[in-house]
Amino acid sequence: MAEIIPFPSKPVRDWKFISETINKALIESGANKDMRDVVTERVKVLFDKINNGIEYNIKLPIPSGTTQVQIDDMKKAIEEGIMEGMKQIQEMVGKVLVDKMLSEIYLYRLEKEGKIEK
């Protein structure tokens, strides 16, 4: 049996991009540093939950007698399928994190106005 496609996660790199995007959007909207820190920290909690324990290590049994050409074709098809699936997941996660950010901005403002408690 051959091991096909170890797919390492990259949450640190992803979070760096996401946090920079959040901060840029908040700065452009006039948010102060406290608001940026609070909203970013709260979105990070969700980001960590999404990424907790996700490992992409796929092991597929390959029948004896399978030629190298067949194995290479399977690898290519699997890689393309996984990449398309990952793209769709990343798009969905991006939308969820944007919704979380907007909710946290609203929540932060309500807390600062004393309308709700932390």
pLDDT per residue as tens digits for the range 8-23: 457 788 889 999 999 9
Q: What is the pLDDT of residues 39-67, one digit of tens each?
A: 999 999 999 998 886 666 778 888 999 99
Decide: 26 and 39 in contact? Cβ < 8 Å.
Answer: yes
What integer pLDDT is reported at residue 12 of this predicted model?
Answer: 82
The model's pTM is 0.71
